[in-house]
Every structure is written in structure tokens, then in C-alpha cells.
Structure 1
Amino acid sequence: MNPSPAPRRALAAAAATALVLAGLAAGTSAGAEPPSRPAHGWSDTADGFASLPGLGRGPTTGGAAGATVTVDTMEELARYATAAEPYVIRVADAIEITPKGTELKVASDKTIIGVGTGGEIVGGGFYLGTGVHNVIIRNLTIRDTLMPEDDPDDKQYDYDAIQLDTADHIWIDHNTLTRMNDGLLDSRKDTTFLTVSWNRFFDNNKTFGIGWTPNVTARITVHHNWFKNTVQRNPSADNIANLHMYNNYLQDVSAYGNYVRGATSAVIEHSYYEGTHNPYYTVAGELVQRGNITVDCTWDEGIVTEQGDAFDPRDFYDYRADPARAVPALLDEFSGPQPEIGT
């Protein structure tokens, strides 16, 4: 008799943790310790496309060149986030945003980071507009702008956790984004040199949208993110020159998972999909997929899961993928805000 799904997942997670902690090969490499085990603490250096120079600037360092401040109020947060000077802005506790749904504007050369697991942005989010660059948003919980009267489509109140409009060199890392009335993360209008890593995208309708542009210029890395109890845009990726997604975990996703469309060139690898409808697919563009695992998933008839040659991410940067079977356990332990970050 086969075990029920919950014990089966627990056994798989335990085996995956043992595999990684034993220092076995991650992806196709062997010998070195995988990046998902922070033996000496999490790096403060962005990886993926956010780590690269481009557009005459980069890599992404945030506010590292400036002073470090700790903020306790919305007013303090807004003052330092919009300043012309670089800042590392520490958020130690929950900050209530009013009026509800306000997206605080963020200027270039900023790091906004939660102190341990206590930093929260409640009732609002962040907006990075045209030309904003070199920003790190890290180790925060951003939550709760739902408007019940706007169900089920979330079209009346555009309350995002993070919205990026033609920004560049952005690192979104180790956050929990949840229960927002529109998107959890919208990367729009040619936003590029973006890395989204080790985040939790939980309990939302419109989760992570990419596009809103006819141009095919954006370069984006999406790795080690946990999408749970979401509906659409996980992500939906339109007209992306290079989209690299690896080691993501999609769990209980009802509409669709990784949707590659337009002229996007995408590589999806070593990810884990559980209880997800249409885990990964394309209707246009190019999609290479390898090493992925699907469990209790459903597919529409005739759906296209591979098309074209896309690109080789290693032509741009080095990376180390964990085995797909290790991903649920790794993200259960290491995604979202971490107690040692920002302290």
C-alpha cells in the first residue's frame, strides 16, 4: 500500500535534506558545497542577472556605499527611501502603511532590509519607477492589502507588494509577499538585470507578472522561490530576452504555473511542482526545460512544454542548481526572512 500524499512528501523532504547536507552534487556539478546551505551565513552579494554590469552601471550593491539607518515609522522609511543619497535602511519591526495600498517610492542606491524575522511592511508596498536602479529589497514580510469588495479579479485596487517600472539592477531576496490586492511582484516595462531569489509568494491571486512591453530586452533570474496557494502569474513572462528560472517550488497553484509567452526566451530547470495546473508551458517564444519534477499535477490537452533552444545561462553567469527533489525541504527551511540576515 502506498503512503498517503502528506507522509510521502515528508519522507521525500527528509531524504532531500539529507542529500544536500551530505554535500552531494547539486545539478550537474559535484564536490563543492551547494549555495543553499549557508554554512557561513547568507551572502550580501546579488547573483544571477542582478550581479552583472549593464546599461552603463551595475552590479547591484544597493545602498552599501551609504550610511546605515534603522527606521520605525512610515515617515522615516519614506524619507530615507526617497533620498538622493545611498542608504541601507533597516526595518526591525512592523511598519503600518497608510492609507492602505500606498506604494512607497524608492530611489536608486538603496537597500531596504528586515532585521531578522521582525521587519514587516503592513498594508502597503514599494514602487520603483523609470530609471531607478541599484536597489535591494530583502528579508521583509510585505502583506495585507486585500480589499474584499474587489474579489475575484483584483482590478479596482492596484495594491502591489513590489512594482518595478523600467527599473534595473534590482535584487529581491528572502522576502515573504502575501495577501495583496493585486500583484505580489510586478516586473514591468523593460525592468532588467533583476534577480528574484529565496522568496515566499503565498496566498494570492495575481502573483508575479513580467512584461507590459513590446520590447524584448529584459534579463531576469528567478531561483529558489516558493509559490504556495496562488492562482495566476507564477510567473507569467512576456517578451523577456533571457529568463532563467531554477529551483523554484510551486505548490497548490490553481490556474497555471510558469507561463512563457510573447517572444520570451526561457530556461526552466530543477524545479518542483506539486498540485499545480499546467506547471510550465509556452504558447510562443522558446522554452527549454530540464530536471523538473511534477507531483499530482494536471495538464491541459495539447499543451506545449518545450520549444526551441532558448539560451545557455552559463554564457552569462555561473550558478549551482540543487536537485529538484531537494527543493521543497530547502525552501521550507531557508526561504523567506531569515533570523541571521540584517542583524
Structure 2
Amino acid sequence: MSMQAPRIRRRTTLISAAVVMIAGTLTVGQVEASAAESSPVGYASLNGGTPGGSSSTVVTVTSASALKSALSSSTSQTVRVSGLISISGMYNVASNKTVIGVGSGSGITGGGLNLSGVRNVILRNLVFRNAGDDSINVQTNTTNVWIDHNDLASGYDGLIDIKRGSDFITVSWNRLHNHDKSMLLGHSDDNGSQDIGKLRVTYVHNWFEGTGQRHPRVRFANPVHVLNNYYSNIGSYGVASTMNAGVFVERNYFENVKNPTVTQTGDSVPGNLKVLNNYKVNSGTEQVRNGASVAAIPYSYTPEANDRVKATVTAGAGTGKI
């Protein structure tokens, strides 16, 4: 592959059995368990990387007012969210922030986080519930974002929406459930002038559990990498590629998914989509459309075997795993 990125060192969570090193890949018994990377794989590792906020400047927040102030501060810092904080509306997140939940039940209810025109933000180990709009909204040329190990459910609109020319983003190890429209990538059919050449996102090791659609639903972006995710009991479809996007759907695990991939939805024109070695249980046939081709993935990676994805993701996705 071209544009080889350096391999990311991974902190590994042991599930069971002995650890064996084979050709540089850490394997734990029958389950690869890289469930707690210390830095992002995929697109968020490019373009200068995504180190997040300063680890030496740390603030712990327990109230809505303190959270809002810390998120919007111009200081490079780590914001520790303690408890499930009730907010109203969308809170803006400034550049150079790491926002991380304390324990497995800390996060936000009633509202969401907005990243607009910012760079270098990490959102990890957070619970999102009952947002009045999007749970996480990434927009307006925001770059280098890592959204990792969160638990998102029961929002009003999207759980993780990425749009308006945003770029170099990795969405990993999140658990999404009790929701319909999960992840939008590109908000409008008429926004090509801003989105073409951008919206490059890696979706890896996420668990979509009984959700309806948009896992993700893509416009314009090429290539988007959908790798080693677990889809269980999906209502409408898994992955959608539209508006001449290019999406590579690789070694995912589809269980009880009638339409694992589609190349057209809504009023959008079809997109390009290629598949490789997806594992299917009681699921339909993937739709593919190579069209003008799906571009090569521009970073190095080692995919997990498709039949092991379910065990790995269910053990590692969501909060309390880092």
C-alpha cells in the first residue's frame, strides 16, 4: 500500500489463555484483544496524528457548568467527566482536548458534543444518552478526531455524525444500541464542493446492536474504511455508499442483517462499494458497485480474522474497557 504510516503500539487487554507473538501480531488464545489502544489506528493516526489534550493539565468535572467551561477552554488539557452529567443542547469542544469518562457510567445525558472547525480532539469512555439532537456532531473542517470506547443510545438524531469537510477521523470500539440513525458521513447531496476529497474516516471494532441504519451512511468520501465491526440484528441496512463515495467494507461480522451493504438510499445517487471477506450469519448478500473504483487505504494495518470479530468486539467495545 502507498503512504505507509508507522504501526501503532497497542496496549492489550488479556481475555484468557496465553499470549503468543506471531509475526509481530499479538494474539491471545483464540481472540485478538487490542481493545485499548493508547493512540488511534487508521485515519486519525495520519496528518500529524491525534495526541489529544495535555496529559499534565487535567481537570475533573461533575456539573454541567464545569463541563461546558472546560470543553470550551483554549487550554490544551484532559477533561475527566465524573458521573452522568445532565446538559441541555450541544456543548462546543475546543481544539487540543481529551475528554474521558471516569469509570464505566460517566458521560452526558440530555444533550451532545459539537466539534466545529477544531483540531486534535479525543472522546473516550463516555456514555451518551437521550440527546436532544446529535450525540456527537463533527463538522466544519474539523480534523484529527478519535472517538473511542463510548456507549451511545437513545438520541434524537445521529449518534455520531461527521460532515462539512471534516477529515482524518477514527471511530473505534464504540457500542451503539437502542437507536435508529447511527452514523452519518456527509450530511447533504449538494455539499460536494466542501466534502469531495475530505470525510476520510476509519470505522473499526464498533458494535452496532439492534440499530436501524447508517452504520455508516456515506456521501462523497473516498476511501472510507469499515473494518472488523460487529453488526447484530440490524433493522434496515448496515453500510450505505451514495453520491459516488468509495467505501471498503472489510472483514466485518454480520449477524441477522438482511442488507449488510447497499449502494443507494433515499434520494442520493449510488456510491461505489467493495467488500472483502465479511462473515455472515443469517444475513443477506452484500450489494457492491466498484464504478470509478474505491481508492486504496492509505495506511498500514493488520485486519483481524472475520470469524473472530464478534468475540473480540463484544468483549472490548463500550465503556469500562480502557
TM-score category by the smaller chain?
0.7 to 0.9
Please name the residue that 2:43 is paired with.
Answer: 49
Alpha carbons of structure 1 residues 183 and 331: separation in structure 2 relative to 1, 3 Å: same
The answer for the alignment partner of 1:78 in structure 2 is: 68
Counterpart pick for 2:197 among 217, 224, 229: 217
| TM-score (normalised: structure 2) | 0.84
* CA distance in 1 between partners of 2:224 and 2:239 (Å): 11
C-alpha contact (below 8 Å) 1:164/1:186 kept by paired residues: yes
Alpha-carbon distance between aligned partners in 1 of 2:211 and 2:275, rounded to the nearest angstrom: 22
Does structure 2 retain, via aligned residues, the 8 Å contact 1:71–1:91? yes
Q: Which moved more, 1:325-334 or 1:275-284?
A: 275-284
Partner of 1:37: 33
- The two structures, once aligned, show a CA RMSD in angstroms of 2.2
**Partner SS for 2:312:** helix
Letter in 2 for 1:164: V
- Structure 1 CA distance, aligned partners of 2:103 and 2:120? 22
Secondary structure of the equivalent of 1:231?
coil
Structure 2 residue identity aligned to 1:111: T
Cα shift at 1:281:
2.7
1:5-63 C-alpha deviation (Å, 9 max, x unpaired): xxxxxxxxxxxx88x977597xxxx552159524xx8332122111111xxxx311110
Please, which runs of 5 or more residues in structure 1 have no aligned partner? Answer: 1-16, 146-156
5 Å-filtered alignment, 1:237-248, equals 237-248=218-229
Do residues 120 (structure 1) and 107 (structure 2) align? yes
Q: Deviations over 1:320-341 (max 9, x none)?
A: 21111111111111001125x3
In structure 2, runs of 5+ residues without a counterpart are 1-14, 265-269
Please tell me whether the aligned partners of residues 223 and 246 of structure 2 are also in contact (alpha carbons under 8 angstroms): yes
Distance 1:23 1:246, change over 3 A: farther
Q: Does 1:258 align with 2:271?
A: no
Amino acid at match of 1:162: I
Compared CA separation, residues 21 and 323, structure 1 to 2 (3 A)? farther
Distance 1:274 1:21, change over 3 A: farther
Alignment-mate amino acid for residue 291 of structure 1: N
CA distance in 1, matches of 2:24, 2:55: 35
Equivalent residue in structure 1 for 2:173, among 198, 202, 211: 198
Instruction: Output one character per residue of 1:47-91: Cα deviation in whole Å (capped at 9) or x when no partner.
Output: 2111111xxxx3111103661111111111110100111110011
Q: Once the two structures are aligned, what percentage of the paired residues are identical?
A: 33
- Maintained 8 Å contact 2:222/2:295: no
**Under a length normalisation based on structure 1, what TM-score does the superposition of the two structures give?**
0.79
Contact 1:216 1:263 in 2 (8 A): no
Question: What is the one-letter code of the residue matched to 1:161?
Answer: S
Q: Distance in 2 between matches of 1:67 and 1:83?
A: 12
Change (3 A) 1:294 1:207: same
Q: What are the superposed Cα offsets for residues 167-204 of structure 1, whole Å, 9 maximum, x if unpaired?
A: 11110000011110111011011111010000011110
Relative to 1, partners in 2 of residues 1:334 and 1:317: Cα closer, same or farther, differing over 3 Å? same
- 2 CA distance for matches of 1:297 and 1:117? 32
Instruction: Give the SS at the match of 1:123.
Output: strand
**Counterpart AA for 1:282:** T
